[in-house]
Structure 1
Amino acid sequence: MAVATAVHGGYLPSKLRPSVPSPPKIASEIKPNAARPPPPPPPILISTNPVHVNPQHLIQLYALCNHSCHRFPTVYAAGKVEPVDELKLRTAVAHSSIVVSAFTKRELVTREYSTPAEVTSFVGIGGDWIRKVAPVTAENGRLIGFGRAVSDLGLTASIYDVMVHPSLRGRGVGRMIVQKIVRMLTNRGIYDIAALCTDNESQFFRACGFGDDMLGATTMMYTRATSTDSKDEEMISAGRKLLLVPRPRELSK
């Protein structure tokens, strides 16, 4: 009977036709160009005080993001890069010209992924009201984003180690970090700003306003593999380093 009613309903005037909810669209019917609105950003504190960065928490963020300070890190079988050296990380942060860190409510990162509905319910009124409306601070929040810049404080600067907690990516946190770094550099009159990034990261930096060098310059990295005319020296690999050492001498007969 339900089927017959649905069929005959098509002959009724439009005002008398029963409202039948349209079935949900399957994946093949969804247009690929249909832009979905980005999820709302969580409550964020952006800090430029290096004192707010706990080295242990920063090491944990490196591990969660699977980010390495080395350009050629050791990669284990599971795809994880080697842990960052705490002493070297402390030294790098201490000597960075600008350090930007991002914090949010700890409850937003207790799960692997937080949906927009969870973010909305968290910042709404109800339950533990004081905890929900309290502003994010470096003391009560959790470190979920980081970035730093190295500069001569006069002419040039480079941006490194921009990363965001995996569960909060795609919400504009990384862009806020980069924009803060760029704003602080340009306020000092520094406009020659570079970002050393991989191909996967290049799209993110393009969205932040970076692009190919207008002068056509190409970044070159020192590898120590310089040519030498000396026949008494050769290059050997020592971990990540290439060392120039004397060749073993042949014994005279």
Structure 2
Amino acid sequence: MAVATAVHGCYFPSKINSLSLPLKITGQIKQSSPPPPIFISTNPAHVNLHHLKDLYTLCNHSCHRFPNVDHTGKVEAVDVGKLRTAIFHSSIVVTVFTKPEFVTGHSSPVEVTNLMGIGGDWIKRVMPVTPDDGLLVGFGRAVSDFGLTASIYDVMVFPALQGRGIGRMIVQKIVRMLTNRDIYDIAALCSGKERLFFRACGFGDDILGSTTMMYTRNSSYSIDEKTISVGRKQLLVPLQETS
């Protein structure tokens, strides 16, 4: 059942706050700041595909294991049609929203104080966050057979809000929903730079020593065929006969 919860950063349960580990940057330890007031939803109907595509772009996150990358290091934009299909077939979808004024034009959240005066601006800031008036700042999804196993994909957070525990909230929400269904074989396909994050979320190396292997389309073919590359795809084509 799809549910949604509103969470104010400074009032999030202490059990979760205790998992906010310090972030190590350039050899120094930086304590994570609490997140701004947020709204966490597991209702796929709250996903605006175009806003989600923008989040992929801002986070420079690719849905592909073999992404096309330009000369600046930017990955190609996600295809909205394929993204719609992926969301539809995902077992769990988690979205996180906050108010735009806590992000836009600020490197850190705007503090709400009693010095802001009495009026529309103050009321706007203290009203609860909702998907209708909030900005999409976090996302994650899982695919599962809802019997034995599940895998987590595409966990991302708006760059200006990274390091504030929002990513851990997303993963913990997904894990909680899966374990409530008695699913504990949960994998996270992640890059090397994401390993520390998932370790902080309770993930570790596979005790069976398994290694993720990706299908590359060129593992097996006959001597009468060769491979050609078309973007990230590799196609088999027959060799032409020579006289």
State TM-score, norm by structure 1. Answer: 0.80
- SS of 1:92's partner is helix
Deviates most, 213-222 or 162-171: 213-222
- Give the equivalent residue in structure 2 for 1:122: 112
Deviates most, 215-224 or 49-58: 215-224
Alpha carbons of structure 1 residues 237 and 46: separation in structure 2 relative to 1, 3 Å:
same
Equivalences for residues 73-152 of structure 1 within 5 A: 73-114=67-108, 118=110, 121-122=111-112, 126-127=116-117, 128-152=121-145
- Give the equivalent residue in structure 2 for 1:249: 241
> AA paired with 1:55?
L
Q: Which runs of 4+ in 1 moved over 4 A?
A: none
Offset of residue 36 of structure 1: 4.6
Are 1:174 and 2:172 matched, yes or no? no
Offset of residue 67 of structure 1: 0.8
> AA paired with 2:235?
L
Are 1:232 and 2:224 matched, yes or no? yes
Structure with more strand by fraction: 2
Structure 2 distance, partners of 1:221, 1:239, is 17
Structure 2 distance, partners of 1:125, 1:191, is 48
When Rg is computed on C-alpha atoms for both structures, the one with the higher figure is: 1
**What 5-or-longer segments of structure 1 have no aligned partner?**
1-31
Structure 2 distance, partners of 1:123, 1:145, is 25
Offset of residue 75 of structure 1: 1.2
Given candidates 188, 196, 204, the residue that maps to 1:203 is: 196
Given candidates 150, 156, 162, the residue that maps to 2:155 is: 162
Structure 1 distance, partners of 2:113, 2:85, is 37
CA deviations over 1:68-112 (Å, ceiling 9, x no partner): 111121111222111111101111111111000000111011115
- Give the equivalent residue in structure 1 for 2:180: 187
**What 5-or-longer segments of structure 2 have no aligned partner?**
1-26
Structure 2 distance, partners of 1:233, 1:64, is 41
- Give the equivalent residue in structure 1 for 2:54: 60
Give percent identity, aligned residues only. Answer: 66
